[in-house]
């Protein structure tokens, strides 16, 4: 019997950059980890990290920095660049601390607890509406409007602009990791970036003159206090909050609806006592789904990760999805086990300085949604249907999920 030769790191990385993992990410990531949890292609100066200890170490290392939003002259002259490059995601050290510290105020436990009631009544309204309509697309009817409405309210934006925000959010998702984006689509993304700049610039001026409740007013005021936040920074980070609050949580909700349908015994277990069990269930769903599949980092000094020596300047493709299915930490990692004892060790929100700012909000939204869903419609039905995911390297979410609440 002959065994297939082990692929070289370069071959696995080539397949990865070409999107070979998108059809079935866990299967590809297991194969890559099987070759090595740190797959280094020294000729190109890149490494793919798919193991939990290695991903965790990289994200927490002082010798690893985040990626910058960079490009040639044409990119730097674009509106997309102006919207993306001041986002806190692409900054380190004091510049990152300054940008993050202003926004962090909006996510204190007190502010979040105050939102619980609103999130609960909004969830009930969406569920009532969907139940009345019979068969609906759960992405459009439930998974998208819940987080969008919540973040729009927290920022103090107008709910009547929600459709526009959804389109902008899709454009930012393309800028963060779109796959096979056509030139026509890039032109639309650039037009959206111009529209976002105009919208937030005018709004910030209005809010400074006439403060309103909400995070955006607080950020606009902070800009006035000794120029701590420039106009471009305000704009970019407001857009980041808007988008981060959209796509990710929406993918957690739609993915959970599907995963619980596929695992009826898990759904029944959660439905028996949602209040008590939902906390751990949300952690396990975050681990299982990894709504943000990965991120990028750069090594700043020679560094050994998982026994592999990486020169300064190596680009790290950090697979959060890979870490979350690492069998060295999670027993039987491809099984959804809502009672898993160490589910909380997942890296779905990353780790280190850029640990997700909205993690508590996302957990709250996920918990309230699943509790209300399973308290009221534990027998919801998902008919046979072909499933398609949005073509994106970074964010993994269903395009559509038809379902019936009953």
* Residue numbers at the binding site for ligand HEM (CB under 6 A): 88-89, 100, 151, 240-241, 244-245, 248-249, 252, 291-292, 295, 320, 348-350, 354, 356-358, 361-362
Q: What is the H or E stretch that residue 172 is in?
A: helix 162-177
Q: Helix, strand or coil for residue 259? A: helix
The closest residue (CB) to ligand HEM is 358
Cβ proximity to ligand HEM: between 89 and 305 the closer is 89
Phi, psi of 87 (to 5 degrees): -65, 140
Cβ proximity to ligand HEM: between 33 and 354 the closer is 354
Cβ proximity to ligand HEM: between 21 and 346 the closer is 346
Q: What is the H or E stretch that residue 41 is in?
A: strand 38-41
Chain-centre distance for alpha carbon 120 = 22
7 DSSP assignment: P
Q: Provide the minimum distance between the beta carbon of 115 and ligand HEM in the complex, in angstroms, as a whole number.
A: 11
Q: Provide the minimum distance between the beta carbon of 1 and ligand HEM in the complex, in angstroms, as a whole number.
A: 42
Q: What crossing angle do the helices spanning 231-244 and 145-155 adopt, rounded to 10°?
A: 150
Q: Provide the minimum distance between the beta carbon of 384 and ligand HEM in the complex, in angstroms, as a whole number.
A: 27
Cβ proximity to ligand HEM: between 38 and 150 the closer is 150
Q: Provide the minimum distance between the beta carbon of 85 and ligand HEM in the complex, in angstroms, as a whole number.
A: 13
Q: What crossing angle do the helices spanning 9-17 and 25-35 adopt, rounded to 10°?
A: 160
Q: Which of 282, 301, 308, 261 is nearest to 49 (CA)?
A: 308
| Distance separating alpha carbons of residues 329 and 346, to the nearest angstrom | 9
Cβ proximity to ligand HEM: between 81 and 90 the closer is 90
Cβ proximity to ligand HEM: between 67 and 188 the closer is 67
With a CB cutoff of 8 Å and minimum separation 6, the contacts of 234 are 200, 204, 219, 220, 223
Phi, psi of 233 (to 5 degrees): -70, -40
Q: Provide the minimum distance between the beta carbon of 66 and ligand HEM in the complex, in angstroms, as a whole number.
A: 6
Q: Provide the minimum distance between the beta carbon of 257 and ligand HEM in the complex, in angstroms, as a whole number.
A: 14
């Amino acid at each position: 019997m002959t065994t297939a030769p082990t692929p070289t790191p370069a071959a696995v990385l080539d397949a990865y950059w070409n999107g070979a993992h998108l059809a079935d990410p866990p299967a590809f990531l297991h194969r890559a980890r099987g070759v090595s949890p740190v797959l280094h292609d020294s000729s190109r100066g890149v490494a793919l990290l798919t193991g939990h200890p290695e991903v965790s170490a990289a994200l927490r290392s002082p010798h690893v920095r985040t990626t910058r939003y960079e490009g040639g002259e044409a990119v730097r002259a674009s509106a997309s660049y102006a919207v993306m490059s001041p986002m806190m995601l692409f900054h380190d050290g004091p510049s990152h601390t300054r940008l993050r510290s202003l926004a962090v105020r909006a996510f204190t436990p007190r502010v979040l607890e105050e939102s619980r009631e609103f999130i609960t009544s909004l969830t009930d309204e969406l569920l009532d509406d969907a139940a009345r309509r019979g068969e609906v697309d759960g992405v459009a009817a439930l998974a998208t409007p819940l987080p969008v409405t919540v973040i729009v309210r927290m920022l103090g934006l107008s709910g009547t602009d929600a459709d526009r925000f959804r389109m902008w959010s899709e454009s930012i998702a393309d800028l963060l990791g779109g796959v096979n984006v056509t030139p026509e689509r890039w032109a639309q993304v650039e037009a959206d970036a111009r529209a976002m700049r105009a919208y937030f610039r005018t709004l910030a001026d209005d809010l400074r003159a006439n403060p309103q409740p909400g995070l955006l007013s607080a950020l606009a005021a902070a800009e006035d206090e000794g120029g701590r936040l420039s106009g471009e920074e305000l704009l970019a980070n407001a857009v980041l909050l808007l988008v981060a609050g959209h796509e990710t949580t929406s993918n957690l909700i739609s993915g959970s609806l599907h995963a619980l349908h596929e695992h009826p015994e898990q759904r029944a277990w959660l439905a028996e006592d949602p209040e008590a069990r939902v906390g751990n269930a949300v952690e396990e769903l975050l681990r299982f789904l990894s709504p943000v599949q990965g991120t990028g980092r750069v090594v700043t000094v020679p560094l050994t990760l998982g026994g592999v020596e990486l020169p300064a300047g190596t680009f790290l493709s950090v697979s959060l999805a890979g870490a979350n299915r690492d069998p060295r930490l999670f027993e039987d990692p491809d099984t959804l086990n809502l009672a898993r004892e160490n589910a909380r060790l997942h890296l779905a929100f990353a780790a280190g300085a850029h640990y997700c700012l909205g993690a508590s909000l996302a957990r709250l939204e996920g918990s309230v949604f699943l509790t209300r869903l399973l308290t009221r419609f534990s027998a919801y039905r998902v008919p046979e249907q072909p499933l398609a995911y949005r073509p994106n390297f970074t964010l993994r979410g269903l395009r559509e999920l038809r379902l019936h609440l009953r």
